[in-house]
Amino acid sequence: MPADDIAIVGWGQTPSVASTDLTEPQLCLAAVNDALAMANIDRHAIGFTCSGSCDYLSGGPFVFISNLEAAGAWPPISESHVEMDGAWALYEAWVRIQHGDIDFALVYGSGKSSPSDPALLFPQQLDPYYLEPLGLDPASLMGMQARALLDSGTATERDFAAVAARSRRAGAANPKAQTLPNGAGESDLDIDALLAAPYVRAPLRAHDLAPAADGAAAVVLATPAKARELTDHPVFIRGIDHRLEPHQPGVRDLADSPSTRLAAQKAGLGANGGGVGVAELYATSSAQELILRAALGLGPDVSVNPSGGALCSDPVMATGLVRIIEAAQRVADGTTRRAVAHAVNGQVLQHNLVCVLEGER
Amino acid sequence: MSARPVAVIGVGQTHHKKARADVSMIGLVREAAERALADAGCDWADIDAVVLGKAPDAFEGVMQPELFLADALGGAGKPMLRVHTAGSVGGSTFIYGSHLVNAGIHERVLTVAWEKQSEGNAQWGLAGGRSGGIGAGGAFAPFIRKYIRDTDAPEYIGWMVAVKDRQNALKNPYAHLKIADISIEKVKESEMLWDPLRFLESCPSSDGACAMVVGSEAAAAAAPNPPAWVLGTAVRTELSTFPGRDATRPQAGVDCAHALYDSVGITNPREQIDVAELYVPFSWYEPMWLEGHDIAGPGEGWRMVDDGATEIEGSFPVNPSGGVLSSNPIGASGMLRMAEAALQVRGLAGEHQVEGAHVSLGQAYGGNAQYFSMAIFGSTQDAVR
């Protein structure tokens, strides 16, 4: 097994907005520049670059090629790209830096959801023979999942609203989080008021669903030796793993997330949340947060999504990487010694990544 | 920690065709994967992780298809990662899979790359569905014209490559194009598509998949068939276009080759490499990559073709499988280069086996000739002499 605890030494993220006139390379460039500035290294010190993005969001092929401008791919760079959230780009870079021949890796994830309608787009992410023709959109799938959770008897619609209220309260204090159309006003924080809202897909209401956004995020990884040279407060990746579940929703227990549990186990999280003080979870519905908390064994003392999470802003393809950044931030600033970040790819928690972060032992 | 040895222990591919109407996308990837597992002498449960690569999702109109292919590839309960680096993706996918073993994370990894062009429209996909695209040939023809002008290469060099690869394809049971009466005359008289590229100097559109099982030394020792040792890998990328860019000899290709050669102790690639599988979607890319990867000197690449050096019996055989010119399931085309290069040093290439192949080169490129992924395979861990 890999022995090296790779460190996160720099990060950056653009503000998430419902729609921006900036191009995706411009978003990436801002995030990459911030990450390099924080790490205090020149981009030519980077030994490997990996990005995550998705052509379908902006509706053109090879979106990631334009994003290379942000990586500054001249002179030529050692580089790869995943058609996934940036959290998986971080995973590929983490694998690459294990070889021991490079000091730094750059990771970025980006997406512009504003050019497309998720309800029309995301059915095309489903099995094209049996599921896609049904026109199942993400909200419908998440509604079925939330219903399964209610039917399991472990949560109520009031629990969903409480997750939303807490997320909105946290998001209002996060300058990178999206300003939601209805604001984080008093009524947003009042659970009875939230429960009075109409369903989007029963049993989920608008506040239960992540609002897609435009945005980008970037991270600089370093070997432990380089990290200690650069900073007195390195954040180490103690473990990272990702696991997938079958695609057909009908063969899964949607009220549970066994792949998250397995990824956490492989990442060495440990039982009952493994003593983390903070968890940043990529839940695209309030019900998913409850499912993920249970899968990770997080107790009531764990601060979940202090950034506001995806329920405040979901810059698709960057959101998972943002969770790692937000968790790393809280280790770096001393909020907690140990944190866990989670990312998801696919619908209703099909593919989950778990990353355990710690400061110096 | 440092990288530990890694080997290709299983290779599988589909019969590539214009339309594999007999299988779904699911059936297509499954066919290649099952053949690779059989070659590796292992079962789905022996695989620790799956890596999947393909070219733009717009080609088939399925967004992130790895999600629905997970079940067919035994992905449930495992890590599965989707790579996309344009035309080089098959190479990059294999390389990432090999790194998972190098880094000591997994013992056996299944890498799969595919394209089912008949279920979509690649030309439409390349253009983003927005306009009439110029196609890949339209993008590369100006580069080829520049190469011809710079090197004074005769026009028939392109025809020779086209004939050689199609003749090689006749020896490869999986190849798509089987043109038994291929000849210089036939290529020369075929329709001009993108001057100077004629119809028979261009790759086909294919349905197909390729799969490779990579494993540790222990996995190689347990496998029934001989391994191909992955002696080195390299990837390089540069920007699509900018003033002063040399598009016929992209710096990323030069850097990638030299990083690779240096990592395995190759100082004279033409002498030390026994056979190469290069990504040649249009005939002229054979001499261009021979020069672009410093296997031949400037202007010497086309002379190697002219002298017959790149024929299967020549001194430096290129694409004995028939190459991309004979089978082009785009996302898989790069991995097929790696797979065929691995088969050669395993001695398992069948009728298109190059005698005495101990060191082979696999190469893929993509985008605007700006993405490169390359690997050197050896019959033994110390095969490079």
Nearest CA in chain B to A57: B63
- Taking the alpha carbons at both ends of chain A, their separation in whole angstroms is 20
HSE, CB side, 13 Å, CA atoms: give it for residue B384: 21
**ipTM of predicted assembly, 2 dp:** 0.97
User: Are B203 and B328 spatial neighbours (Cβ–Cβ below 8 Å)?
Assistant: yes
Q: What does each of the 385 residues of chain B score in pLDDT, given as a tens digit?
A: 458 999 999 999 999 999 999 999 999 999 999 999 999 999 999 999 999 999 989 889 899 999 999 999 999 999 999 999 999 999 999 999 999 999 999 999 999 999 999 998 887 777 766 666 778 889 999 999 999 999 999 999 999 999 999 999 999 999 999 999 999 999 999 999 999 999 999 999 999 999 999 999 999 999 999 999 999 999 999 999 999 999 999 999 999 999 999 999 999 999 999 999 999 999 999 999 999 999 999 999 999 999 999 999 999 999 999 999 999 999 999 999 999 999 999 999 999 999 999 999 999 999 999 999 999 999 999 999 9
User: In chain B, what residues touch A355 (CB-CB under 8 Å)?
Assistant: none
What is the nearest CA distance from B172 to chain A, expressed in angstroms?
A: 31
User: In chain A, what residues touch B130 (CB-CB under 8 Å)?
Assistant: 60
Bigger pLDDT: B209 vs A184: B209
What is the nearest CA distance from A42 to chain B, expressed in angstroms?
A: 18
User: In chain B, what residues touch A264 (CB-CB under 8 Å)?
Assistant: none
State how many domains chain B has: 1
User: Are B209 and B32 spatial neighbours (Cβ–Cβ below 8 Å)?
Assistant: yes
Percent of chain A exceeding pLDDT 90 equals 90
Quote the crossing angle between the two packed helices A86-97 and B89-102, to the nearest 10°.
60
Please tell me which of the candidates B81, B238, B259 has its beta carbon nearest to residue A74: B238
Q: Select from A91, A95, A248 the residue whose CB has the most chain B CBs within 10 Å, as the one to mutate to test that interface.
A: A95
Quote the crossing angle between the two packed helices A63-71 and A24-39, to the nearest 10°.
30
User: Are B341 and B353 spatial neighbours (Cβ–Cβ below 8 Å)?
Assistant: no
User: Are B369 and B86 spatial neighbours (Cβ–Cβ below 8 Å)?
Assistant: no
Please tell me which of the candidates B80, B92, B250 has its beta carbon nearest to residue A244: B80
Among residues A73, A69, A95, the alpha carbon closest in space to that of A82 is found at A95
Range of the domain at B59: 7-123+204-222
Over the stretch A264-280, which tens digit does the pLDDT of each residue have?
999 999 999 999 999 99
CB contact under 8 A, B242 and A74: yes
pLDDT reported for residue B127: 74
CB contact under 8 A, A244 and B1: no
Tokens 């998986």 label which residue? A88
Q: What value does the mean pLDDT of chain A take?
A: 94
User: In chain A, what residues touch B238 (CB-CB under 8 Å)?
Assistant: 73-77
Over the stretch A15-40, which tens digit does the pLDDT of each residue have?
999 999 999 999 999 999 999 999 99
Over the stretch A70-114, which tens digit does the pLDDT of each residue have?
999 999 999 999 999 999 999 999 999 999 999 999 999 999 999
Nearest CA in chain A to B239: A73
A172 pLDDT above the threshold of 50: yes
User: In chain A, what residues touch B78 (CB-CB under 8 Å)?
Assistant: 243-244
Homologous superfamily in CATH for domain A7-116+213-230: Thiolase/Chalcone synthase (3.40.47.10)
Q: B85: domain CATH number?
A: 3.40.47.10
SS3 at position B45: helix
Q: CA angle at residue A271 from A355 to A321, to 5 degrees?
A: 15
pLDDT reported for residue B302: 98
Look at residue B20 and tell me if it is in a domain. yes
Please tell me which of the candidates A55, A61, A127 has its beta carbon nearest to residue B68: A127
- The pTM of this model reads 0.97
Length of chain A: 361
Domains of chain A: which residue ranges? 7-116+213-230
